[in-house]
Amino acid sequence: MDLPAPLRTVGAALEATGFHPGRSGRDHLRSLAATHRIPDARADELLELVGIPAAARKRAGGYSMGMRQRLQLAAALLGDPQVLLLDEPANGLDPEGIRWMRGFLRHLAHDQGKTVLISSHLLAEVEQTVEDVVIIANGHLVREGTMDALHGEPAALVRSPEPELLVRALDRAGLAASPLPEQGPDALQVRTPELARVGEVALATGRPVHELRGMRTDLERLFLELTDTPEHRNRNLGAPHTPAPTNPEETSR
């Protein structure tokens, strides 16, 4: 499909985009704006918005990674598009910049109603920013859903020196518990969001508890689990066990 004015429909900040080192960031924006007859004032307004109005008048060769990210974001917003496509927007930002970026993207999505698509490997950062997640491994969709759905059912992790006895006690109280060997021989997983009930059962039955905390599947763990199958392992890293199947049907869900 041909868009007559693509910058007004979708704004993209792709990792591959660069800047001429001898051209100022402001002139870079102006040259892009000119293609859509967007006035220079809009470029200045955006530079103000992303926080680099003064620096953008200097040559881009001396820009830090964070400034480049902000400048790219400004370029993507030139046509005030409804959809934003950002590749690794937090890469190279300092902690303050990352917090700013998070807030700014939320503002664009919530207050201005834009659709913001982010591709990223910084899973902890993504977890704090997004609502919907799509996990792609080697070009194949392996999971999609809302952040809450991907987190799965909340559970409790409890540690006790007498795990078998505690499982039975919890069972009698109507709480499903099972051993969690990857967390150690004394760890149990209890399928409930109510940590207090687990604690009360342990106290009532006299079982010592060494640790009790909420457990959620975080994005990083989910990602590693989902991509740890031979067909979804990163093919760029080679195949440690079996070669990835070349027939796409074998990898379909």
Partner 1 sequence: MTALVRSELIKAFSTRTAWAMPLAMFLVTALFTAIGGFFLVYAELPVAGTTIRARDTMDEAVLVRMVYTGAVQMGYLLTLVLGILAMGSEYRHRTLTATLQAVPRRGRMIVGKVLGLVVVVLVNGLAHVTAALLAGGAVLLSADLSVAPDPGDLVLTMLRLLLVLVLWGLIGFGLGVLIPNQVVALFVGVAFAFIVEPLLGFGITFWDAVADAARFFPSQATMSTLNIFDGADAATTQALGGAENPLAWWAGALVLLAYAALMTAVGWLLTARRDVA
Q: Does 227 bind partner 1 (CB under 8 A)?
A: no
CA distance 241 to 230: 7
CA distance 110 to 33: 26
* Smallest separation (angstroms) from partner 1 to the CB of 35: 4
* Smallest separation (angstroms) from partner 1 to the CB of 23: 5
Q: What's the order of all strands across the beta sheet hosting 187-190?
A: 177-179, 187-190, 155-159, 211-215
Q: Are 86 and 119 in contact (CB under 8 A)?
A: yes
- Number of residues written out for the chain: 253
Size of the site for partner 1 (CB under 8 A): 25
Q: Does 62 bind partner 1 (CB under 8 A)?
A: no
Q: Are 52 and 62 in contact (CB under 8 A)?
A: no
Q: Does 41 bind partner 1 (CB under 8 A)?
A: no
Identify the residue among 24, 129, 160, 251 touching partner 1 (CB under 8 A): 24
* Contact range with partner 1 by CB under 8 A, out of 7-15, 107-115, 200-208, 214-222: 7-15
Q: Does 30 bind partner 1 (CB under 8 A)?
A: yes
Between 135 and 174, how does the x/- string for binding to partner 1 read (CB under 8 A)?
A: ----------------------------------------
Please provide the DSSP assignment of 192-234 as one string. -S-HHHHHHHHHHHT---SEEEEE---HHHHHHHHTTSGGGS-
Q: Does 55 bind partner 1 (CB under 8 A)?
A: no
Contacts for 190 with CB less than 8 Å, ≥ 6 apart: 155, 156, 157, 158, 170, 175, 176, 177, 198
**Phi/psi at 162 (nearest 5 deg)?**
-125, 65
* Smallest separation (angstroms) from partner 1 to the CB of 5: 9
* Smallest separation (angstroms) from partner 1 to the CB of 7: 6
Q: Does 229 bind partner 1 (CB under 8 A)?
A: no
Cβ proximity to partner 1: between 46 and 187 the closer is: 46
DSSP state of 50: T
Interacting residues toward partner 1 by CB under 8 A: 2-3, 6-7, 12, 14, 16-24, 27-28, 30-32, 34-37, 75
